[in-house]
Amino acid sequence: MDRYTPVSRRQLLATGALAGTAGVAGCSGIGGIDGNGDGSGGGGVPGGDDDGLAGVGDSGPDPMAWRTAYFDNANTSYHPTAELPRNGVTEQWRIETGENGTPTSPIAADGTVYVGGSSDRPIMFVDIETGEVEWSGPSDETAVSTTSSDPVVTDEVLHYTDGNRLYTFDLDGAMLERVDVDPGPLGAGSMTVTDGIGYVARRDGFNKVGIIGYDLDEKEPVFTYEEDQASGPPAVDDGQLLVRDRGAQKGITAVSMETGERAWVTEFDGDLYQTVVVGDDLAYIAGNKEEPGFGNFAGGFVNAYDTATGDRKWQVEGPGGLTQSNVVFAEGIVYAGFEYEDGSPNVVALDAETGEVVWEEPVGDQPYHLAMAGETLVIGDAFETAVYALDAATGEKLWSFETEERITRPVTVVDGTVLVGESSGTYYAIGGP
């Protein structure tokens, strides 16, 4: 990566010099931009009714809250008021569940971390400062089986789904309700909650079949969409649900929250990963472009689409190889990771409106789990046993932390602390010395 005088991203945005900075960075190896328009959008965190997901107050989101797998209903994975150590980290605590594969993403609120545990105690409440397990359970097999979705905390209630059931707990561990879902079953992954309705993908065997919305007060289905193989938590944007479609289109589907009808669908000649991210009238997702032959892919891309029409605004080829990365959207920049290949830089920052390169940097091997707090981008590697931190404005490496196994779930960041889950079923809290 070519070096230049470090300037904060906010300074660049304030002076209108961001596009110029991309040129100053002078990075090589990135693919060309193509599309059918000049893009639209910019900085800022999407607003709207989040049912307390981000803990928004007068001074912005609660620095200690990360209430859903990708932080908010736009799936940005960006916490604007949290700050992380910049000069190294140490292990604060770890929890070993004994399960082969971390069941959930860590969720944080009110000084507690909420995670999936083992088959005999599928939910664990952990003190974020000490790592002490405050509550775990229940063990009654008739009450709940192993958690299959990421928990979501709204106000003072925890929600999660498990196959054919929807569960709610208060934050002291008391089960409030267990509801059999019909139609079901529900797919694994996080629920999106807005206006008191929880939206989650349904499945039929291995196939996802649309979206169901449940009134979380009445515990009744109030919304169904059954057209496509929806996957991942939907992003909410201007009365629409935007979901990744792994069916014939392998693109993004937008569904009206009022009518349940498809508004538009994109098509992509390959496969898309993780979840749709929304920022200022554009939807972003990473994927791999297909080439002839079953299961063959030519390389990874980041794609941007107009949320009103589904028109693709730009597509940028990744500097590394293939990808299964989520996309982070933060103040006019999008970030994504690609498999390390032939010495190529494999984490990239792009101007969200145009797709122009801000910086690119080699990091790890499969940097697929990204999250951001303040000015720090955190990366959990899906192949190497490590977590990395970069300066979000420059791509400069700040620190790394060795885990025992690879990272398998989205990363959580709150003020002073990074929370990650690894493939052995162990959760880590990483923080300052």
**pLDDT for position 86:** 96
Write the CB contacts of 165 (distance below 8 Å, at least 6 apart in sequence): 144, 178, 179, 180, 181
79 — pLDDT class (breaks 50, 70, 90): very high
**Strands (E) located in 282-411:** 282-290, 297-306, 312-317, 328-330, 333-337, 347-351, 357-361, 367-373, 376-381, 386-391, 397-402
Distance of alpha carbon 132 from alpha carbon 88, whole angstroms? 24
| Phi-psi group of 94: left, alpha or beta (phi > 0 → left; psi -120 to 50 → alpha; rest → beta) | beta
What is residue 13's DSSP assignment?
A: H
Q: Is the peptide bond before 183 cis (omega within 30 degrees of 0)?
A: yes
**Is beta strand 157-162 parallel, antiparallel or unpaired with respect to 152-154?**
antiparallel
Q: Can you say whether residue 155 is alpha, beta or left, with left for phi > 0 and alpha for psi between -120 and 50 degrees?
A: left
Write the pLDDT tens digit of every residue in 408-428: 889 999 999 999 998 888 999
Rounded Cα–Cα distance for residues 65 and 414 (Å): 6
Does residue 8 or residue 181 have the better pLDDT? 181
> Greater confidence, 60 or 384?
384
Q: Could you give the CA distance from residue 156 to residue 234 in angstroms, rounded to a whole number? A: 22
pLDDT range class, residue 315, cuts 50, 70, 90: very high
Q: Is the pLDDT of residue 270 over 70?
A: yes
H or E segment and range at residue 221? strand 220-225
- Of residues 359 and 25, more confidence is placed in 359
In this prediction, residue 37 carries a pLDDT of: 31
Domains, the chain, ordered by start: 9-431 (2.130.10.10)
Asked if residue 193 has pLDDT above 50, the reply is yes
The pLDDT assigned to 183 comes to 61
Percent of the chain residues topping a pLDDT of 90: 48
E strand or H helix that includes residue 369? strand 367-373
Residue 142 pLDDT more than 80? no
Note the pLDDT tens digit of each residue in 378-398. 999 999 899 999 999 999 999
